[in-house]
Amino acid sequence: MKIPCPQCGERDVSEFRYGGDATNQRPAHGTGDLKQWHDYKFVFDNPKGPHTEYWQHVYGCRQWFKLMRDTAKNEVLAGES
């Protein structure tokens, strides 16, 4: 599987780390609401098909970015630039 890094272009997946679901909105800093944080941290869908997620080019430029990937086919549907 190859992943398009917005800085470096397409690279092998082994250069990246997965950073989790990017569809849940992280509550703003200082939000005290337990329910909001709970839902952000612990409640996820596990879709088969298109999924937006975070990746970091950890053995490269270290950029974090969002990526839409088909979880069934490992096909990259949209990268962030």
Partner 1 sequence: MTAFHRIDMPSRIDRNRPITFTFDGKTVTGFAGDTLASALLANGRILLGRSFKYHRPRGLVGAGVEEPNALFTLGTKGRTEPNAISTTTELQKGIIAKSQNAWPSLSFDMMAVNQRFAPIFGAGFYYKTFMGPLKKSWMMYEPIIRKAAGLGAATPDVDTARYEMRYMFCDVLVVGSGPAGLAAAITAGRAGKRVVLAEQDFEFGGSLLSSGDAEHERWRAEQLAELAAMPDVRLLKRTTVQGLYDGNLAILSHRPENHPALMITEQLRAQNIIMATGAIERPLVFPNNDRPGVMLSSALRALLNRFSVAPKQRAVIVTNNDSAYATAFDLAESNVAVTVAEHRSTLSGDLLARAAQLGIAIFPGCGIADVIGEKQVKAVRLSGRHAVTIECDVLGMSGGWSPAVHLTSHGTFKPVYRADIAAFVPGGFAPGQFGAGAVNGTFGLLAAIAEGEHAARQSSSDNKKLKPIDLPATREDRKYTIQAVWNAAEKELEKFAFVDFQNDVTVKDIKTAHQEGYVSVEHLKRYTTLGMGTDQGKTSNINALAIMADLRSLPMSEAGTTTFRPPYAPFTVGAIAARTVASHFRPKRLSPLHDWHVKNGATFIEAGLWMRAWFYDWAGKTPEEAYIKEMELVRQNVGISDVSTLGKIDVQGKDAAEFLNRVYVNGFAKLPVGRARYGVMLNDDGVVLDDGTTTRISDTQFYMTTTTAQAGEVMSWLEFLLQVHWTDLDVQVTSLTDEWGGMAVSGPNARKALQLALPDVDLSNEGLPYMGVKDITYDGVQVRILRLSFSGELAYEVHCAADYVTALWQHMMMAAEPLGIKPYGLEALASLRIEKGHVAGADLDHRNTLDDLGLGKMAGKEKDYVGKALRFREDCQAPDRWSLVGLECMEEDKKLRGGAILFAASDEIKGHGRGYITSVTWSTELKKYIALALYDGGLKHQGEDIICAFPLKNETVKARIVSPHFVDVEGTRLHA
Give the rounded distance of the alpha carbon of 54 from its chain centre. 2
The answer to the question of residue 1 lying near partner 1 (CB under 8 A) is yes
Sole binder of partner 1 in the list 52, 53, 63, 68 (CB under 8 A): 63
Which strands, in side-by-side order, build the sheet including 50-56? 17-21, 50-56, 64-70, 75-79
The answer to the question of residue 40 lying near partner 1 (CB under 8 A) is yes
At 15, phi and psi to the nearest 5?
-85, -5
Sole binder of partner 1 in the list 7, 74, 77, 78 (CB under 8 A): 74
Give the rounded distance of the alpha carbon of 21 from its chain centre. 5
Interface residue list for partner 1 (CB under 8 A): 1-2, 13, 17, 19, 26-27, 29-34, 36-38, 40-42, 54, 56, 58, 62-64, 72-75
